[in-house]
């Protein structure tokens, strides 16, 4: 009975397993190949049972650290090193503040024409380094040279007029001297005529002189008195003419000063026909060309001085310990293999938005707090020795502790 049962179970088992297989497997296996599959599955099941019987219980299996002690020790050392490195980095990082919102800044100069004229020469090319006082370009000065000569002629004419007035004044002074001498002569004659008239009157009263003599003396007295009055009037007229000449002299001096001012203005204008570099730097963005007619105020080129610095926009939360004079390590993106040294020069008295074209107005609309940035000026301790221009990216690191 047991043998029949076992044989029946062995016969029915393959059929049940075949029904449990996916349809695709049954389609792929050719008909009449059921028995090899049954033998293969039976072998796999017996191998699994044998492996399960041979493996030791979980309670008797050794731990991972005991099986790999050296690897565990290395991992533990690496973890400790990482922790120590993080701690050291954090302690060291507390001493520095850095930002990548920084760039090279400079006071660029706009080179423009101050006078009107045709450009005759452009002495520099784009990005050319120039020294202070070097010629950048020239404007035709022929019209201004003519104006200068005219102004010089006006100065000479004014000087001649002053000399003429001075000569007239000297001549008038001579006339005054002559008039005063005439007054003195008339005064003497008048005094003699008075004496003669008095004496003739006395003689006439005594009968020692004739009536004709007395009348003659009286007439002479009247003539001498008239001559005296004329001499005084002539002297006064001569003196009054001096005041007129003095006024003419002042007018001539004013004309001279005006002519000299015109001459100086002409000389200054001629100097403006030659545009020179204000400081040492680089000429860039040149728009001027030979033959172009320049107008006053027209921008002809830009000039970048050699004196540059770093403008770093630090967050306001980074400024607690930042002070002028603190040392700075400057990394410039254009020169990744070099580190430049400088120091904090000053901190702007206000955030960047406060001085922008359209400053924020937090009293209107909805308010959202945003960490503001404050520009910090950082100067180089030594000239960088490399080309630096405004706008180049910089990463400054300030030692604040």
Give the pLDDT band (50/70/90) at residue 401: confident
What is the predicted pLDDT for the residue at 183? 74
| Average pLDDT for 350-373 | 83
- Asked if the model's pLDDT at residue 298 lies above 80, the reply is yes
| Average pLDDT for 323-341 | 94
Give the pLDDT band (50/70/90) at residue 390: very high
What is the predicted pLDDT for the residue at 252? 87
What is the predicted pLDDT for the residue at 43? 55
| Average pLDDT for 140-145 | 91
Q: How many CB atoms lie within 10 A of CB 119?
A: 20
Q: Which residue has the higher pLDDT, 107 or 199?
A: 107
Give the pLDDT band (50/70/90) at residue 131: very high
What gap in Å lies between CA 390 and CA 374, rounded to an integer? 19
What is the predicted pLDDT for the residue at 93? 67
- Asked if the model's pLDDT at residue 27 lies above 60, the reply is no
- 5-38 core/surface letters (b: 16 or more CB in 10 A; e: else): eeeeeeeeebeeeeeeeeeeeeeeeeeeeeeeee
Phi, then psi, of 190 in degrees rounded to 5: -65, -40
- 189-209 core/surface letters (b: 16 or more CB in 10 A; e: else): bbeebeebbeebeeebeeeeb
| Lowest-confidence region among 163-177, 248-262, 319-333 | 163-177
| Lowest-confidence region among 149-153, 214-218, 333-337 | 214-218
- Asked if the model's pLDDT at residue 53 lies above 50, the reply is no
| Average pLDDT for 94-112 | 91
Give the pLDDT band (50/70/90) at residue 48: low
CA geometry: angle 396, 400, 401, nearest 5 deg? 140
User: Percentage of the chain surpassing pLDDT 90?
Assistant: 37
Mean pLDDT over the full length of the chain: 80
Relative to beta strand 299-305, strand 109-112 is antiparallel
What is the predicted pLDDT for the residue at 52? 46
Helix (H) or strand (E) holding 280: none
| Average pLDDT for 276-284 | 90
What is the predicted pLDDT for the residue at 243? 77
Q: Which residue has the higher pLDDT, 90 or 60?
A: 90
Which of 155, 154, 153, 117 lies closest to 138 in space, CA to CA?
Answer: 117
Which of 354, 242, 376, 227 lies closest to 309 in space, CA to CA?
Answer: 376
What gap in Å lies between CA 361 and CA 94, rounded to an integer? 34
- Asked if the model's pLDDT at residue 348 lies above 90, the reply is yes
What is the predicted pLDDT for the residue at 26? 43
What is the predicted pLDDT for the residue at 312? 95
What is the predicted pLDDT for the residue at 105? 94
Identify the top-confidence range among 11-20, 50-59, 230-239: 230-239
For 41-61, the DSSP string reads HHHHHHHHHHHHHHSPPGGGS
What gap in Å lies between CA 116 and CA 15, rounded to an integer? 111
What is the predicted pLDDT for the residue at 276? 92
What is the predicted pLDDT for the residue at 31? 46
pLDDT tens for 216-270 read 777 777 777 777 777 777 777 777 777 777 888 888 889 899 999 999 999 999 9
| Average pLDDT for 287-296 | 91
- Asked if the model's pLDDT at residue 28 lies above 60, the reply is no
What is the predicted pLDDT for the residue at 271? 92
């Amino acid at each position: 009975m047991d043998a029949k049962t076992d044989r029946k179970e062995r016969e029915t088992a393959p059929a049940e397993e075949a029904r449990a297989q996916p349809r695709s497997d049954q389609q792929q296996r050719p008909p009449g190949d059921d028995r090899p599959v049954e033998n293969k599955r039976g072998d796999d099941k017996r191998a699994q049972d044998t492996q399960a019987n041979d493996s030791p219980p979980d309670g008797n299996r050794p731990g991972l650290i005991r099986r790999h002690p050296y690897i565990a020790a290395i991992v533990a050392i690496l973890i400790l090193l990482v922790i120590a490195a993080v701690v050291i980095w954090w302690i060291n990082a507390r001493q520095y503040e850095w930002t990548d919102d920084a760039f090279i800044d400079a006071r660029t100069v706009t080179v423009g024409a101050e006078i009107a004229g045709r450009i005759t020469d452009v002495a520099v090319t784009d990005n050319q380094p120039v020294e202070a006082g070097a010629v950048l370009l020239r404007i035709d000065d022929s019209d201004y040279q003519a104006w200068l000569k005219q102004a010089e002629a006006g100065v000479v004419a004014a000087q001649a007029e002053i000399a003429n007035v001075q000569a007239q004044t000297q001549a008038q002074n001579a006339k005054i001297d002559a008039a005063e001498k005439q007054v003195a002569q008339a005064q003497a004659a008048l005094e003699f005529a008075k004496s003669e008239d008095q004496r003739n009157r006395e003689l006439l009263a005594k009968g020692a002189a004739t009536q004709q003599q007395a009348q003659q003396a009286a007439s002479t007295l009247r003539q001498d008195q008239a001559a005296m009055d004329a001499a005084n009037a002539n002297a006064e007229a001569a003196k009054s003419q001096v005041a007129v000449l003095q006024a003419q002299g002042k007018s001539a001096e004013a004309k001279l000063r005006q002519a000299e001012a015109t001459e100086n203005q002409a000389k200054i204008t001629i100097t403006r026909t030659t545009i020179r570099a204000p400081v040492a730097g680089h000429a860039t963005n040149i728009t001027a060309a030979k033959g172009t007619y320049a107008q006053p105020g027209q921008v002809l080129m830009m000039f970048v001085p050699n004196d540059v610095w770093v403008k770093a926009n630090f967050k306001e939360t980074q400024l607690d310990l930042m002070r002028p004079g603190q040392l700075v390590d400057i990394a410039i993106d254009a020169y990744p293999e070099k580190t430049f040294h400088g120091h904090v020069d000053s901190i702007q008295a206000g955030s960047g938005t406060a001085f922008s074209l359209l400053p924020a107005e937090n009293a209107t609309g909805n308010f959202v707090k945003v960490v503001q940035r404050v520009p910090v000026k950082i100067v180089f301790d030594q000239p960088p020795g490399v080309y630096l221009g405004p706008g180049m990216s910089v990463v400054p690191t300030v030692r604040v502790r």
